[in-house]
Amino acid sequence: MVERLSDAERAAFFRDHPNWKPVEGRDAAEATFRFGSFAEAFSFMTRIALYAEKADHHPEWFNVYDRVEVTLATHDAGGLSQRDVAMASVIDAAAA
């Protein structure tokens, strides 16, 4: 079982990762990224996919053309966990 973030950890996460916002009605985080083209957006997704597979932790995501909307939560924890903190950091770095 993966532990959910404490209230203090959750607050620190959103403070330190300004791309990410809480999801209404759910212990999850969402962010939207824009790129210069579909090729750039899908390259970003591919980089995240390789990380996801290695970490065995997968995003929920939506893509249309140059936009990627990502939602993070940990199914086994019923909400945000340190796995999501780690993945958000990887995603932010890939989008930078």
Give the binding site for its own copies (CB under 8 A).
38-39, 42, 45-46, 49, 52-53, 58-65
The β-bridge partners of 30 are 21, 71
Question: For residues 3 and 60, which CB has a smaller minimum distance to its own copies in the complex?
Answer: 60
Residue 53 CB, nearest distance to its own copies (Å)?
A: 6
Residue 71 CB, nearest distance to its own copies (Å)?
A: 8
- Residues near 44 by beta carbon (within 8 Å), at least 6 away in sequence: 33, 35, 68, 94, 95
Question: For residues 16 and 53, which CB has a smaller minimum distance to its own copies in the complex?
Answer: 53
Closest among 18, 93, 92, 84 to 52, alpha carbons compared: 84
